[in-house]
Chain A
Amino acid sequence: MVASSHTLSVTTPSDREIVMTRTFDAPRELVFEAMSKAEHMREWWGPRGFTLPVCEIDFRPGGAYRFVSADADGNEYAFRGEYREIVPPEKIVWTFEFEGMPGMVSVDTMTLTEEDGKTTITSTSLFDTVEQRDGMLESGMETGAAETYDRLAELLEKMQEASA
């Protein structure tokens, strides 16, 4: 198997979605378990060097969760949400909100597929921006540009360099 399948792929199929896929050398049941229990989440959730001092999970549809991710300097970042749908070992849907940016809530659908003993997580984050909710984006010209956020970020960087 090529190593590239173990890297994170990020795409945006629509203006409001970010899709991430990543393949793991483990059966689906195990991956699902690692994503659904606090004792496991503590071991991996958050960037390198961060700990998860708070990891509260009420793993059932309608159940809430809250994580506090902390870095070595003691800075804390809290995240919260609610499980919307749980289909073991295939699918978890939750709402996701960084408490530092209240109001910016995404609905994340995480699907697990297994092939040859390897499991791929596909996470689709659907963002609901205030503007879109209020119907302020009524230009009628949006055709769902399937541009990756990576490419957008590159464009943004180029534009900033040009204007600097």
Chain B
Amino acid sequence: MTTRQLNTTFAALADPTRRAILARLATGEATVTELAAPFTVSLPAISKHLKVLERAGLILRGRDAQRRPCRLRAAPLGDAAEWLGDYREFWEQSFDRLDTYLQVLQEKEEKDGRK
């Protein structure tokens, strides 16, 4: 898992339309026309989003020249979710320890007669 891959994944996920496209693909493969149906944006705009998702390795395009169905590739999503989980856990546990340590410091201050 490289930084570049993680950045690419998060950048691809930053857009609500692209997240909606991925959520749709989670239920099965779809053509560009099918993917564009729920949106008010144009087909070229959807194609542009698909290119971003493809570059990020989040979708695969079929070889059938006519349909070129899209399908979800979930591996980078797992990496992104894992990174977020680690980030949260790191700070959660650090702050828990800080909480405990602050109590120790305050007890010490009282003992030393400061304040």
Contacts and interface: CB of A to CB of B under 8 A. Distances in A.
Contacts of A54: none
A8 to B, nearest CB: 5
Interface residues of B, number: 53
A18 B6 contact: no
Contacts, number: 137
B107 to A, nearest CB: 11
B85 interface: yes
B105 interface: yes
Q: State the main secondary structure of chain A at its contact with B.
A: mixed
Nearest to B79: A156
Interface of A: 6, 8, 10, 15-16, 18, 20, 22, 24-26, 30-31, 34, 40, 43-48, 101-104, 121, 123, 127, 129-132, 136-137, 139, 141-143, 145, 149-150, 152-153, 155-160, 162-164
Given A46-B94, A137-B52, 17 more contacts: A8-B88, A18-B87, A24-B95, A24-B102, A30-B102, A30-B109, A34-B98, A47-B90, A47-B93, A104-B6, A130-B8, A137-B11, A143-B16, A145-B14, A156-B80, A160-B78, A163-B25
